[in-house]
Amino acid sequence: MTSKQLLQRTTPYMFLFPALAVILVAMLFPVVYGLGLSFFDWALRDIRVAPVFRGLGNYVELFKSEYFYTNIRVTLIFTLTVTVSEIVVGLILALLLEQKMAGLRIFRTIFVLPIMVAPVVVGVVWRYLYDPSFGMINYFLSVLGIEARMWLSEPQLALPSIIVADIWQWTPFVFLLLLAALQGVPKDLMEAGMIDGTNYLQNLRHIKLPVIQPIIIVTAALRLIDAFRSLVVVYIMTFGGPGKSTELLSMAVYKTAFISQRLGLASAIAVILLLIIFLITMFVFFTSRGESRR
Amino acid sequence: MAAVTWKGWKVLKYVLVIVLAVISLFPIYIMITASLKTRAQVFTIPPIWFFNPRIENYLAVLSTLNFFRFFMNSVIIGLSSTILSIGFGAMAAYALARFRFMGHRVVLTSTLFLRMIAPVVLVIPTFILWTKLGIMNTRYSVILSYIALNLPFCIWVLRTFIVDIPISIEESALIDGCGEFTIFSRIIIPLIMPGLSVAAIFTFRIAWNEFPLALVLTNRYTRTLPVAVSLFMSTTGIDWSKITAIATIIAIPAFIFTFVAAKNVIMGLTAGAVKG
C-alpha cells in the first residue's frame, strides 16, 4: 500500500475523530459509568471514598419501595396525558388551518416562540400565572366568580397545572410538524379523491390520515421521549411537591442523588429511565423502517 | 348559500388563529410587563394593564446579583459549544456523507440513538467523572458536555445537507488536484450555510437554555443564567419583578430566533422529525 492510499483510507476517520472523541468522553463513557454505578452504594459526601458493591441491591430496593411506584405512576400520567392532548389538539388545528390563508405565516412565527423559550423561563412564567395571590389565573377566575385555588400546592391540582404548562409549550411543535406533513400530501391524491365524489371525512380517513400516519407516529414518539425525560419545568414550579404528587422519574433521579445523596440508587433510577426511552426509540425506529420498506 | 357558509368559515378561521396567537403570547407578555412594573405594581390585584414601563428591575438585577458574570458565562458557554458542535459536526457529517468506511453504518445509526440521551441521565456520572478529573466547576466541563449533547443532532442534520450537494462539484475539484480538506473547507462549508445556521440555532438554544447539567457542574463563579434564576427564586422568596426581569433576559435569544429566523427554526424542527 502506498502512502497515498493509506492517507485515503484514514481520511474519513480523521474527519470523524473530533466528534467521536467528544461523544466517547462526555456521553458514552458517562452512560456506561452510570450503568456501573447503579450496582454500587455511594454517598455523595463520601465521593472521595471507594463505593461499596451492592449487586442488584439498588434495583431490589426500588421495586420494593412505594415511592418508586408513585414516581412511575406520576410519570406515566404526565407523559401520556401531554402526548395524547398535544397530538389531538395539534392535529385538529393543523387540519383546520391546512389551507393557505393570508397571514398564516405570522401566526406560524408566533407559534414558534413557546418552543424556543427556555424550560426555566416556562417554569417561571407559569409559576407566576398560578401564583395564588398575584397570579393571572386566579384573577381571571375571580372575574368569572370562581374562587381562588392554590394551584401548585394542592396535591390534586399540581400535576394537572404542570400538564397545562407543557401543553401550552409543546402543542405548537406538534401543530407545525403535522401542518408541514399535511401540506406535503400529494395534490393529485387529494384531487383523485374529489373526483370520486368522496366527502371531507372520507377523504380524511382514507387518504390524508394514512399518508401522514408515519409522521404522526414519529411526532408522538418525540413528545413521549421528551416528556419522559422532562425535569426543568417541574423543578422550577413545584420541585416534585406537594408530597410526591409531581415527582417525575427525572425529578426522583435528581432528588435521590443530591438531596438524599445516594448516587448509586439515583443511577439505578436513571438507568430505568434511559431503558424506557431506549425501548420507545427502538419501537419507532423499527416500525418506521417497516413503513418505508412497504 | 354555499358561498356564504364558506365566507363564514373563513372568518371563523381567522378568529381561531387570533385566539391561538393570544394564548401563545399571553404568558410571555405577562412576564415582560411584570418585569417593567414597580414592585408595588406587580403585587396589585386587579392587575394594572397600563403603566409607565420602568427599567429599574433590570438595573437592580444587573447590579446586585453578580448578574453580569452569569450572563457572560452563558454567552461564552453558548457560543463556544455552538461553534465547536457545528465544526466537529460538519466534519463528521462530511465523512458519513462522502466516504464508505468500516463502521459507517454503526456510526450513522448511533447518531440517531444518541439523540435520546437526556441531560438528567448524564448528571450523576458526569458529576463524579469531572470531579475525579479535576475539571468540575469550570466552563470547559460544561462546554464539553454540551458539545456531546448537540453533536448527534448536528451530524445528522448537516449530513442531509451534504448528501444533497451534487457530487460532480467535488469530483471536478479532485481532478484539479484539491485534497479532501480543501474540498471540505472551500466547497462543502459554503454550500451548507443554511444547514449550519439551522444547526447553530438549535445548538445555541440547548446550550443557552440547559439547566440540569449546569446546575450540578457549575459553582458561583461559572454559573449560567438558568441556574442563577432558579437559585434566586429559592433564596429570596419570590420577588416577581426581579425574577421576571432575569427570565426575560434569558428569553432574548428565543425572541431573536423566533422573529428573525422562524423559517430556519421550522426547517430544523421538521427536519428533526420528518426525516428522523
The number of residues in chain B equals: 276
What is the DSSP annotation of A92-147? HHHHHT-S--TTHHHHHHHHHHHHHS-HHHHHHHHHHHH-TTT-HHHHHHHHTTPP
* Beta bridge partner(s), residue A40: A53
The C-alpha angle B51, B53, B56, rounded to 5 degrees, equals: 130
Which residues in A lie closer than 8 A to residue B114 (C-beta atoms)? 23, 27
Here the cell at position B32 is: 415582560
The C-alpha angle B271, B273, B276, rounded to 5 degrees, equals: 85
What confidence tens digit (pLDDT) does each residue in A17-48 have?
999 999 999 999 999 999 999 998 888 777 77
Contact A254, B123 (CB under 8 A): yes
The reported pLDDT for the residue numbered B65 is: 61
In order of A213, B8, B155, B156, B159, the CA distances from B112 in angstroms are: 21, 46, 10, 8, 12
| Residue A236 confidence (pLDDT) above 60 | yes
| Average pLDDT for B103-109 | 88
| Residue B40 confidence (pLDDT) above 80 | no
3-state secondary structure of A10: helix
Segment (H or E) for A53:
strand A52-53
Are the beta carbons of B238 and A37 separated by less than 8 Å? no
| Residue A1 confidence (pLDDT) above 70 | no
In angstroms, how far apart are the furthest CA atoms of chain B? 77
Size of interface A-B (CB pairs under 8 A): 263
Segment (H or E) for A41:
strand A40-41
What confidence tens digit (pLDDT) does each residue in B161-170 have?
999 888 888 8
Q: pLDDT band at residue A86, thresholds of 50, 70 and 90? A: very high
Contact A215, A181 (CB under 8 A): yes
Contacts of B95 (CB under 8 A, 6+ apart): A11, A12, A13, A15, A16, B101
Cα(B23)–Cα(A107) distance, integer angstroms: 12
B6 or A176, which is more confident: A176
Cα(A34)–Cα(B166) distance, integer angstroms: 43
* Beta bridge partner(s), residue A207: none
Domains of chain A: residue spans and CATH? 64-293 (1.10.3720.10)
| Average pLDDT for A188-192 | 70
- Mutation site, B13, B121, B256, interface A, largest A CB count within 10 A: B121
Here the cell at position B16 is: 381561531
Contact A219, A174 (CB under 8 A): yes
> Which residue's C-alpha cell is 425506529?
A285
- Mutation site, A47, A85, A113, A213, interface B, largest B CB count within 10 A: A113
Is the Cβ of A235 closer than 8 Å to some Cβ of chain B?
A: yes
DSSP A51: P
Here the cell at position A275 is: 431503558
Contact B116, A24 (CB under 8 A): no
B46 prior amide bond cis, ω within 30: yes
Contacts of A54 (CB under 8 A, 6+ apart): A39, A40, A41, A264
- Rg (C-alpha) for chain A, rounded Å, is 24
Is the Cβ of A284 closer than 8 Å to some Cβ of chain B?
A: no
Global ipTM: 0.89
The reported pLDDT for the residue numbered A293 is: 45
What confidence tens digit (pLDDT) does each residue in A101-123 have?
777 778 888 888 999 999 999 99
Are the beta carbons of A134 and B240 separated by less than 8 Å? yes
For chain B, the structural domain boundaries read 55-274
Question: Residue B11: is it exposed, middle or buried by C-beta count within 10 angstroms (0-12/13-18/19+)?
Answer: exposed
What confidence tens digit (pLDDT) does each residue in B200-219 have?
998 999 999 999 999 999 88
What confidence tens digit (pLDDT) does each residue in B234-257 have?
665 688 888 899 999 999 988 888
CB-nearest partner of A281 from B113, B120, B149: B113
The C-alpha angle B144, B149, B155, rounded to 5 degrees, equals: 105
B74 or B175, which is more confident: B74
Shortest distance between the Cα of B176 and any Cα of chain A, in A, equals 17
Shortest distance between the Cα of A156 and any Cα of chain B, in A, equals 23
In order of A101, A104, A115, B35, the CA distances from A109 in angstroms are: 14, 9, 11, 24
> Which residue's C-alpha cell is 456521553?
A27
Here the cell at position B198 is: 439551522
What confidence tens digit (pLDDT) does each residue in B130-141 have?
988 888 888 899
Contact B34, B27 (CB under 8 A): no
| Residue B274 confidence (pLDDT) above 60 | no
Which residues in A lie closer than 8 A to residue B20 (C-beta atoms)? 93, 107, 111
* Average of per-residue pLDDT values in chain B: 87
Here the cell at position A97 is: 388551518
The reported pLDDT for the residue numbered B22 is: 92
Q: Please state which CATH class domain B55-274 belongs to.
A: mainly alpha
Cα(B152)–Cα(A26) distance, integer angstroms: 13
Lowest mean pLDDT among A199-208, B29-38, B155-164: A199-208
Contacts of B51 (CB under 8 A, 6+ apart): B33, B36, B37, B41
Contact A249, A22 (CB under 8 A): no
CA dihedral sign, ordered A215, B122, B148, A109:
positive
How many CB atoms within 10 Å of residue A201?
Answer: 8
Cα(B112)–Cα(B97) distance, integer angstroms: 15
Q: Percent of chain A at pLDDT above 70? A: 92
Q: Percent of chain A at pLDDT above 90? A: 46
What confidence tens digit (pLDDT) does each residue in B82-95 have?
999 999 999 999 99
3-state percent breakdown (helix, strand, coil) of chain A, nearest 5: 75, 0, 20
The reported pLDDT for the residue numbered A290 is: 57
Most confident of A156-160, A207-211, B100-104, B184-188: A156-160
Q: pLDDT band at residue B1, thresholds of 50, 70 and 90? A: very low
Cα(B249)–Cα(B244) distance, integer angstroms: 9
Cα(B85)–Cα(B96) distance, integer angstroms: 16
Here the cell at position B48 is: 394594572
| Residue B7 confidence (pLDDT) above 80 | no
Residue B80's nearest CA partner among B218, B208, B261, B246 is: B208
Is the Cβ of A159 closer than 8 Å to some Cβ of chain B?
A: no
CA dihedral sign, ordered A82, A84, A87, A88:
negative
Contact B225, B246 (CB under 8 A): yes
